[in-house]
Structure 1
Amino acid sequence: MPESRRLRARSIAAEQAILKATLEILATGGYSALTIERVAATARASKTTIYRRWKTKEHLVLAVFGQLPIPVPVAGPSLEADLIALFGQFSKIMRDSPLRGVLPMLVAECIDNPSLSAALVKVNDRRRVPVRHVLQNAIRRGELSAATDVELAIDVIQGAIAIRQYFLLDELTDDWIRGLVGLLLHGIGQRKPARRG
Structure 2
Amino acid sequence: MTAPAARRGRPRSEDADERILQAAHELLLQRGYDRFAMDEAAVRAGVAKTTLYRRWPTKDHLLVALVAKIQDEVPVADTGDVRRDLVVYLTAVAGGLNRMRRVGRTAGDDPSAGVVAELVAAAARHPDVGEAVRALFARRNTLPLALLDRARERGELRADSSSAVLFDQLAGALYYRLLVTGEPIGPAYVAELVDQVLAGAGTATPNPERT
Tell me the TM-score normalized by structure 2. 0.66
Amino acid at match of 1:169: G
Instruction: Provide the rounded CA distance (Å) in 1 between the counterparts of 2:127 and 2:17.
Output: 30
| 1:163 pairs with 2:176 | yes
The gaps in structure 1 that reach 5 residues or longer are 1-7, 190-197
CA RMSD of aligned residues (A): 3.4
Aligned to 1:192: none
| 1:112 pairs with 2:129 | no
Could you tell which deviates more after superposition, 81-90 or 168-177? 168-177
| 1:40 pairs with 2:39 | yes
- Whether contact under 8 Å (1:73, 1:82) holds in the other structure is yes
| From 9, 15, 24, the counterpart of 1:19 | 24
Q: How does 1:38-187 map to 2 (within 5 A)?
A: 38-41=37-40, 43-44=42-43, 45-52=47-54, 54-57=55-58, 59-70=61-72, 71-97=74-100, 98=103, 101-187=114-200
- Whether contact under 8 Å (1:74, 1:82) holds in the other structure is yes
Aligned to 1:5: none
Q: CA deviation at 1:132?
A: 0.9
Instruction: Provide the rounded CA distance (Å) in 1 between the counterparts of 2:79 and 2:195.
Output: 17
Q: CA deviation at 1:79?
A: 1.9
Greater helix fraction, Structure 1 or Structure 2: 1
**Which whole-Å deviations, capped at 9, do the CAs of 1:135-164 have from their partners, x for residues lacking one?**
012112111234322112222222101012
Instruction: Provide the rounded CA distance (Å) in 2 between the counterparts of 1:135 and 1:25.
Output: 37
Q: CA deviation at 1:134?
A: 2.0
Amino acid at match of 2:28: L
- Whether contact under 8 Å (1:73, 1:133) holds in the other structure is no
Q: CA deviation at 1:10?
A: 8.2
Amino acid at match of 1:164: R
Instruction: Provide the rounded CA distance (Å) in 2 between the counterparts of 1:181 and 1:17.
Output: 33
- Whether contact under 8 Å (1:18, 1:50) holds in the other structure is no
Could you tell which deviates more after superposition, 8-17 or 83-92? 8-17
Could you tell which deviates more after superposition, 95-104 or 62-71? 95-104
Instruction: Provide the rounded CA distance (Å) in 2 between the counterparts of 1:64 and 1:169.
Output: 23
Q: CA deviation at 1:69?
A: 3.8
**Which whole-Å deviations, capped at 9, do the CAs of 1:29-85 have from their partners, x for residues lacking one?**
2xxx87xxx512553353322134x15325423322122143322223522222112
Instruction: Provide the rounded CA distance (Å) in 2 between the counterparts of 1:17 and 1:177.
Output: 29
Q: What percent identity do the matched residue pairs reach?
A: 21
